[in-house]
Amino acid sequence: MEESYLEIKKTSIIRPIKRKIVLLILAIFTTLAFFVYLQCQLNKNENEDKQIMNIFEKQRMSTQLLSKDANHLYVLLHSLENVEEEQKRNQITNKIIETKEDMYQEKEAFSAILASMQEGHLYAEDHQINIEDSVKNASKYLEKIDKAWLGFLYPVDTLLHAEEINSEVDYAISFINNHNEELAELCDKILSIILADSLAYTTKMKVTVYIWIGILTAAILFSLIQLMRYIILPFNQMYEGISELGLMSYQFLPKLPTKKKVTPVIQEINDIFVKFNDLKSLIENMNNNGSFMGTLNFINQTFSGLIPYNYIGIALFIEDKKVIRASYGVSDGKVVGLPENLVGKSWPIDETSLGRLLQSGKARIINDLERYTENRPLKPYNKIILEAGIRASITLPLNLAGEPIGVIFFSSTQKNVYKEEHLNILRTLANSIAISFHQNIFIDDVIYSSILALAKLAEARDEDTGEHLERMKMYSRAIAEFLYESHKHEDEITLEYIEQIERFSPLHDIGKVGIRDGILLKPGKLTAEEFEEMKKHTTFGAEVLKSAEQNIVKYRRSLFGMGIEIAQNHHEKWDGSGYPCGKKGEEIPLSARIVAVADVFDALMSKRPYKEAFSTEKSFSIIQEGRGGHFDPEIVDVFVEHRAEIEKMCRENQSTVA
């Protein structure tokens, strides 16, 4: 009878618990499914909104490029009438053909997008984006843009068939210049309607999903209340016993006598909880920093209680994942030469062992680096870390959205310190670091790329190939590295500073987007009044970046601080004779003084419409002549001291410099 009674009691408890647990699990999974569905839809809508914005940006740019090319064509036709030399006429004729081809492509691109809009969809990469509802709402503007474009096509076709300047050509160029902004404004209005419709759809979807989530949450709460009767309340007494044993305290000091076997178990459990709480606190606070480097420093300062290490390094893919670059590094001060001698260096992924690691997606432990490299050719990066005193490391892939973006290294000066159990904690940390990277660096890159595109557009307007920006990056970084190696401005120039000056030096002339074509494209010498207008590009550039910075500062972050310094001050001169403010000496930010040398040197070495490229000898001579007048003497000295390295850069880029 006793056994039967126990069996009945067991059944009466387990069955309702099973039912409640099944219902609870179903409710939880359904809620999660709604969350996943919502997130997927939000991501899809966000991606489509970005693609739509890109399409309309191309549409707007097509009108601007048509206007630019039309004016360029007009200038070329006028030049052709005034040139008699056969060779020059052939050169101008070839440019006319190229310009007409560009105009034709821009015309076809605008027409194609307009046609697809009228059909109720847009083509983005390999799929269509349905905008039928938005097209109905924007029908008034679609009619206007269709009418405006039809009116625009005749002047464009007139120019495409023009062989000389006549009244029709004059009318065509006048019409294009007067109406291209109208097309751009209509594109903006249609884009606003599409994005507003997308936002309304997203809001409606969110409300629906949240209502269902609320219902399911209520079901979960009801199930939890029911389970409390069968599980939670009976476990209260056990929880109180665990608390009395001190399991949740930082250190376990039993107040009551315990068996020898119980104490180690409780201590182990206590250690697990302590580590779990430390890890939880680390992950919760990881993204409270304003920069990714701040996050890495936070990890370095707080994670050492969980994993033994002296150095943390992060290497990221560049150049379509063919090259891996040592991008970030922090140490505890016990390693010599790291991260200084490693960060910024790149290697083809095929020349490292990391390619296999990333393909497998598995972590790697090397507990004796000297032995690992003993019978292998010593790679340059291994030589650097061995000389720094590193003897063991754990390497884990960094993945974002299922795709590898790089690797993270935890390295120690001690051998045989890493175990398999360290990997579980580090995998969690690696995922959090990848998310932090996405939130900081990736989003910053998106914003920066948009601003850089504007800078490249400014360069394109005065017919520069854009290669000037790449050379500017190269020279500016090189000068900063020379100063760093010479231990000059040690309180200011860090590895992060060098990365930033490479990143923001191409934005120096972004303000040219605000200068009229008549001044910017003028082939001859500017008048005094025109030059005053041209000088405003420094102020315009700073204002553009300040506007972007103000929006970012709302989120307690900063991105364009150095870019603002460079844009506003790169035409200031050491002796105070520059513009826009007449600053002198160290009143001029160091970043702008570096970029001033890089900018002038590349201008001297480059062929321009008004001059041939100067020789290296003459270019260095002019830079030296500007020492103490135009340029910071210290920067000129370092620049000249490393002349051989600069000349090597010039030779490697001669195809673009010549």
| Whole-number pLDDT of residue 641 | 93
Residue 613 placed within a domain: yes
Same domain, 297 and 215: no
Query: Is there a domain that residue 176 lies in?
Result: yes
Amino acid 248: pLDDT: 38
- Is 499 in the same domain as 421? no
**What CATH number has the domain bearing residue 414?**
3.30.450.40
Q: Which domain-ending residue is among 369, 402, 436? A: 436
Q: Is the pLDDT of residue 391 over 50?
A: yes
List, in sequence order, the alpha helices (H) in 486-525: 495-504, 517-520
Rounded mean pLDDT, 325-346? 81
The pLDDT score that the predictor gives to residue 622 is 93
Greatest extent of the chain over all pairs of C-alpha atoms, in Å: 122
Beta bridge partners of 394: 365, 410
Which pLDDT does position 53 carry in this prediction?
72
Chain centroid to CA 274: 36
Q: Compute CA distances 621 → 270, 624, 640, 643, whole Å.
A: 71, 5, 10, 11
Residue 70 above 70 pLDDT?
yes
600 pLDDT more than 90 = yes
Mean pLDDT for 443-450 is 51
- Does residue 278 carry a pLDDT above 70? no
Residue 393: strand pairing partners: 366, 411
Residue 345 shares a structural domain with residue 466 = no
Stretch 340-358: mean pLDDT: 81
Same domain, 477 and 377: no
The per-residue DSSP string of 64-119 comes to HHHHHHHHHHHHHHHHHHH---HHHHHHHHHHHHHHHHHHHHHHHHHHHHHHHHHT
Q: What mean pLDDT is reported for the chain? A: 76
pLDDT at 457: 52
Helix (H, G, I), strand (E, B) or coil at 439: helix
What's the pLDDT score for residue 582? 92
pLDDT at 263: 52
Distance, in Å, from the CA atom of 12 to the CA atom of 99, rounded to the nearest integer, reads 86
Cβ–Cβ < 8 Å for 169, 158: yes
Entry pTM: 0.46
Residue 355 host element (H or E)? helix 354-360
Q: Could you report the per-residue pLDDT of 14-33, keeping only the tens digit for each?
A: 566 667 677 777 877 877 77
pLDDT at 546: 80
Query: Which of 41-55, 514-528, 532-546, 641-655 shows the lowest mean pLDDT across its residues?
Result: 41-55
Domain boundary among 221, 247, 279: 221
Q: What is the pLDDT of residues 208-218, one digit of tens each?
A: 777 877 877 78
Tell me, yes or no, whether 467 and 421 share the same domain. no
Among 12, 55, 346, 17, which residue's Cα sits nearest to residue 194?
55
At 636, the pLDDT band (50, 70, 90 cuts) reads very high
Same structural domain for residues 207 and 341?
no
Same domain, 402 and 490: no
- The H or E element spanning position 188 is helix 167-227
Q: Is there a single domain that holds both residue 206 and residue 336?
A: no
Contact 541, 598 (CB under 8 A): no
Q: Are 632 and 598 in contact (CB under 8 A)?
A: no
Domain shared by 188 and 87, yes or no:
yes
pLDDT value at position 597?
A: 95
Q: Which of 18-22, 296-300, 424-428, 436-440 has the lowest mean pLDDT?
A: 436-440
Q: Is 261 part of any domain?
A: no
Evaluate whether residue 335 is within a structural domain. yes
- pLDDT tens, 175-223? 888 888 887 787 778 778 877 777 777 788 778 777 877 877 787 777 7
Residue written as token pair 């032995």 = 371
Same domain as 200, residue 96: yes
Structural contact between residues 326 and 381, judged by C-beta atoms closer than 8 angstroms: yes
| Domain hosting residue 613, numbered range | 462-657
Shared-domain flag, residues 404 and 483: no
State mean pLDDT over 536-551: 79
Q: Above pLDDT 70, what percent of the chain?
A: 77
Is the predicted pLDDT of residue 555 greater than 60, yes or no? no
Q: Rounded to whole angstroms, how far apart are CA atoms 561 and 541?
A: 12
Q: Which residues contact 280 (CB under 8 A, 6 or more apart)?
A: none
Closest Cα to residue 327, out of 315, 337, 318, 339?
315
pLDDT higher than 70, residue 277: no
- Given a cut of 90, is residue 117 above it in pLDDT? no
pLDDT band at 638 (very low <50, low <70, confident <90, very high): very high
State residue 524 phi and psi, 5-degree precision.
-95, -170
Q: Show Cβ contacts of residue 491 under 8 Å, excluding neighbours closer than 6 positions.
A: none
Number of domain units in the chain: 3
Q: Among 57-61, 158-162, 472-476, 577-581, which stretch is predicted with the lowest mean pLDDT?
A: 57-61
3-state secondary structure of 591: helix
Give the C-alpha separation, 256 to 243, whole Å: 12
Residues 467, 398: one domain? Answer: no
**DSSP 3-state helix, strand, coil percentages of the chain (rounded to 5)?**
70, 10, 25
Mean of pLDDT values over 224-233 = 63
Whether residue 254 is predicted with pLDDT greater than 50 in this model: the reply is no
Banded model confidence at residue 572, pLDDT cuts 50, 70, 90: very high
Instruction: Specify the pLDDT at position 590.
Output: 95
- Reported as a single tens digit per residue, the pLDDT across 470-516 is 888 889 989 998 998 888 888 888 877 888 888 888 888 888 877 88
For 86-100, write each residue's pLDDT tens digit: 888 888 889 988 988
CA pair distance 75, 31, nearest whole angstrom: 65
Residue 399 is assigned to a structural domain of this protein: yes
* Residue 256 placed within a domain: no
Which of 190, 221, 252 is at the close of a domain? 221
End-to-end CA distance of the chain: 102
Task: CATH number of the domain at 587, please.
Answer: 1.10.3210.10
User: Using one digit for the tens of pLDDT, what is the confidence trace for 279-320?
Assistant: 666 666 555 555 666 677 777 777 776 788 888 888 888 767
Residue 233 located in a structural domain: no
Q: Tell me the H-state helices in 119-166.
A: 132-137, 139-160
Among 100, 90, 92, 88, smallest CA distance to 76 is for: 92
Segment 164-179 shows an average pLDDT of: 85
Residue 259 in any domain: the answer is no
